Structure 1
Amino acid sequence: MASCSRKIKRPFVVSVEGNIGSGKSSFLTHFQSYPGVKIYSEPVEDWCDVGGHNLLALLYSNPEKWSFAFQSTVQLSRLNIILQPTNANIKMIERSLQNNRFCFLEIGKQMGALSPPEYAVLTKWYEWLEKKADIGLDLIVYLRTSPEVAHQRMKNRKRPEENEVPLSYITLVHDCYESWLVGDGQTTPNCPAPVLILDANRSLEEVFQVYEENRDKILGRHKP
């Protein structure tokens, strides 16, 4: 049986994390021209056409019914990305399997969108992948925004599937990210890699300057 492990030298893996509208796509675009860097955006278009079904739209319209199908699809697509071979020295991915497990599955559980059996199945799958496949990260870049800024940016980009997403959901995602990567004073961060926290509330020009100031850390040239 073929191994799940990659056969070539492992690149430095950077996961770009942040709320909806935090600027993850702009971050990847900024670094895609650097030599030795290969970027992988979230395959949103694939999630919007799974055998002709728009799972992203279905999720937002009825999370209790569609969260399990959507999260199963997302987990599969993230696995495909992290195991995809590359000759690049640096692999930058938009969100990670770890994000799915420790952020969005927890949100689904908290909202009641994932039933206890569904949550158990998805976490068991993650535990198996963690043991059997090379899904490790070397750095997490957390683009930290306030829920209000993230929500306004989401509204401004006018993606049809996101039209009805309320600020309360964006706040829930923010709180989960804070608990996962920063800690909220009551819980300890469950970080699978070093975390570089960048203030992404700023203007695009200011944020690009922050990226450049932290370029060596982001490209793995020295530890954050």
Structure 2
Amino acid sequence: MSAGSGAVTLLFRCVRLVSALCAEAPSPLGAAARHQGTARHRGTALRAGSVRLIQSRARGGMRRGDVSAGKLVRNGVDKKAVICIEGNIASGKTTCLEYFSKTSNIEVLTEPVAKWRNVRGHNPLGLMYQDPERWGITLQTYVQLTMLDRHLSSISAPVRMMERSLFSAKYIFVENLFRSGKMPEVDYAVLSEWFDWITTNISIPVDLIVYLQTSPQTCHDRLKQRCREEEKVIPLEYLESIHKLYEDWLIKRTYVSLPAPVLVIPADHDLQKMLHHYEENRDKILAASYL
């Protein structure tokens, strides 16, 4: 099967998933949603010690309880907070999620990396790192599908913490492939059309983004220590380009809007200091359930 035909197959799986959700979901006109996932936000950075909170407000005043007209919404989203943990590869997202998973009222969802490594016996994640121009659209189509599934799955606790999001999949990793010349323009256009359709027609509420701000060199050093097979080929330059896109999106906000307020936590420190940072910011993070 060629890369193009494989990508088309994955896109059709997306269609089937969304069709099934549409069949099961209540009428969007009668369902409550907290935020429009693609609403543009304005905000300012507030400093609190070593942490900055970038407050944002959607144009039009969309708040929890407002109707997300015309959008498919997940059952039971009311009074459920969604927090996305964002950051570069090896920025400490897993450690952060493990720390908060010990809190009884928080549900933790890690990235579905196991799925990206094994799609009916194939490893699109490994293939993408080996030959991104050939396999980039194949992996990113599947990432888009699996992250959409994560966002739309039922929430079993008052607060959900997710590792990354549908938004960073597009704004960071697809964007990096395209800007680096490793994704053909037609592939980028197809993925962009899908992302735009999803965010226009499906409500994907996010209440808070926690950005683990880490230097590319620190991430590179950590990669060497953890020795994951697919990551052995990742150069420092790749981490630098991912870092720049994260900074442009979440700090400078120069090329795309924010789907939620951003809490910035410096994450270059050792494990013990990071655990202290997480405890220090627990109240700020859990306050997302009241936004």
Same fold (TM over 0.5): yes
Cα distance in 1, alignment partners of residues 290 and 133 from structure 2? 41
Cα distance in 2, alignment partners of residues 214 and 12 from structure 1? 16
1:147–1:167 Cα contact (<8 Å) kept: yes
Cα distance in 1, alignment partners of residues 230 and 281 from structure 2? 33
Name the structure 1 match of 2:238: 169
| 2:283 corresponds to which of 200, 212, 216 | 216
Name the structure 1 match of 2:183: 114
- Matched residue SS, 1:121: helix
Output aligned runs, 1:198-217, within 5 Å: 198-217=265-284
Q: How many residues align?
A: 222
- The one-letter code sitting in structure 1 at the alignment partner of 2:191 is L
Name the structure 1 match of 2:63: none
Identity across aligned pairs (percent)? 40
Cα distance in 2, alignment partners of residues 50 and 141 from structure 1? 30
- Matched residue SS, 2:108: strand
| 2:165 corresponds to which of 96, 105, 117 | 96
Runs of 4+ in 1 over 2 A off after TM superposition: 187-190, 220-224
| 2:118 corresponds to which of 49, 61, 86 | 49
Name the structure 2 match of 1:133: 202
1:15–1:92 Cα contact (<8 Å) kept: yes
Deviation of 1:222 (Å): 7.8
- The one-letter code sitting in structure 2 at the alignment partner of 1:176 is L
Alpha carbons of 1:223 and 1:154: their partners in 2 closer, same or farther (altered >3 Å)? farther
- Matched residue SS, 1:140: strand
List runs of 5+ in structure 1 lacking aligned partners.
none
1:183–1:189 Cα contact (<8 Å) kept: no
| 2:193 corresponds to which of 116, 119, 124 | 124
Cα distance in 1, alignment partners of residues 218 and 279 from structure 2? 22
TM-score (norm 2): 0.73
* 1:60 paired to 2:129: yes
Cα distance in 2, alignment partners of residues 129 and 90 from structure 1? 23
Deviation of 1:221 (Å): 5.5
Deviation of 1:121 (Å): 1.0
- Computed over aligned residues only, the root mean square deviation of the Cα atoms, in angstroms, reads 1.6
Q: What do residues 47-100 of structure 1 show as CA deviations (whole Å, max 9, x unaligned)? A: 010111111110110000000000001010100101000231111100000101
- The one-letter code sitting in structure 1 at the alignment partner of 2:75 is K
- Matched residue SS, 1:79: helix
Q: What do residues 97-156 of structure 1 show as CA deviations (whole Å, max 9, x unaligned)? A: 010121111101111222111111111111111122121211000001000000110111
Which segment is superposed worse, 120-129 or 143-152? Answer: 120-129
- The one-letter code sitting in structure 2 at the alignment partner of 1:192 is P
Name the structure 2 match of 1:75: 144
List runs of 5+ in structure 2 lacking aligned partners.
1-21, 26-71
Output aligned runs, 1:15-34, within 5 Å: 15-34=84-103
Which segment is superposed worse, 106-115 or 150-159? Answer: 106-115
- The one-letter code sitting in structure 2 at the alignment partner of 1:6 is R
Structure possessing the higher radius of gyration over alpha carbons: 2
- Matched residue SS, 1:197: strand
Cα distance in 1, alignment partners of residues 290 and 237 from structure 2? 35
Cα distance in 1, alignment partners of residues 239 and 152 from structure 2? 29
| 1:6 corresponds to which of 71, 74, 83 | 74
Cα distance in 2, alignment partners of residues 62 and 9 from structure 1? 39
Deviation of 1:23 (Å): 0.4
Deviation of 1:188 (Å): 5.7
